[in-house]
Amino acid sequence: MRISPPVGLGRAGALALLITMGSLWGLQFAMLKLAAQGGHSDINILMLTLVLLSIIFSTILIVRRELFSVNGKRLVFLVVTAMLGYVAPLAAALQAAPHIPAGILTMLASLAPVITILVAIVLRTEAVSLRRLAALILGACAVLMVFSPELDIRGLGMSQWLAVALVVPLCYGVESVYIAANWPKGMTTLQAITGETLIATLLIVPFFAVYGEPVTLQWAWSDTVVAISVFVLAGVFESLIYLYLIRTTGGVFVSFGAFVSLFAGIAWGMVLFSEAHSLMVWAAVAILCIALVLAGLDRPVSAAGR
């Protein structure tokens, strides 16, 4: 399949942006692991992350003069996408991050395109094809290869945390199908992202008020805050690159950012946490790459992209 390069950017420039986007996405999961290891509560980390994202996206929205009104349909859309795109996957990632390698966390998150196909087939929004069926089977095999070493007679090992981490691609996969079917008329992508983060922040406020820890000056200068700041900045730049590429190169080209993020997440884990992986994990990565190729060549719906 030939993809025309965007005007003024060129094929090499588009590829460079794709690699940058995927590398930033992989870095985000490494930063979540670093933040979760700081000893602070998940609700505090989640709250600060969403507040910073809301401030930055709102500022960009105001500068671009894209303020928008919210009606009932848009509010329902933003609440659902806030839960699926931010609250649930970030909470799950923060829970699982201290217990599993950053590389494996990124690998499981990279299953999102495969789960998108599964959800679309289950909901009968798309017909079954051999490519989609093969992608699902290979994706399941990759997950089982990561899980299997943790299932032994002595207990579940870290398999319970792997299961928690699977909430991340599950949410992104469901969100993709929901967005494709329910995008509000007249709403831009930047408006949707900003609305999502603002609603997600409001949803977390009551839980933070009840379960959050007092924020002291020492907390503000901790490694956790540094990790959150890097996560937020990486997320903003990654989102902006995604928006640009999706409009200039198309969804198929952007979908291959999942490959970059997969290997970038593994690389960041090796650099930042000295992680090493077994041959079983590398074999699972190879199988997942094949699944992602099949998913990218035969995507059932437009993915939300994170």
DSSP string, 275-299: ----HHHHHHHHHHHHHHHHHHHT-
Whether residue 81 lies inside any domain: the answer is yes
pLDDT at residue 62 in the model: 95
CA dist., res. 265 & res. 114, Å (int): 18
Whether residue 123 lies inside any domain: the answer is yes
Nearest-5° Cα angle at 112, 97 to 258: 85
> 6: pLDDT confidence band, cut at 50, 70 and 90?
very low
Q: How many CA atoms lie within 13 A of 263 on its CB side?
A: 10
- Max mean pLDDT range (75-84, 235-244, 245-254, 278-287): 75-84
Determine the average pLDDT of the residues in 146-170: 74
Distances (CA, A) of 300 to 124, 170, 180, 192, 288: 11, 16, 10, 21, 18
Cα 293 off chain centre by: 18
Please tell me the pTM assigned to this model.
Answer: 0.82
**Of all residues in the chain, what percent carry a pLDDT higher than 70?**
85
The total domain count for the chain is 1
Determine the average pLDDT of the residues in 40-65: 92
- Domain span at residue 190 reads 10-297
pLDDT at residue 305 in the model: 41
Q: In the structure encoding, which two tokens stand for residue 148, read together?
A: 């299997």
> 3: pLDDT confidence band, cut at 50, 70 and 90?
very low
Q: In the structure encoding, which two tokens stand for residue 110, read together?
A: 């990279």
Residue 154 reports pLDDT greater than 70: no
Residue 56 reports pLDDT greater than 90: yes
CA dist., res. 291 & res. 197, Å (int): 31
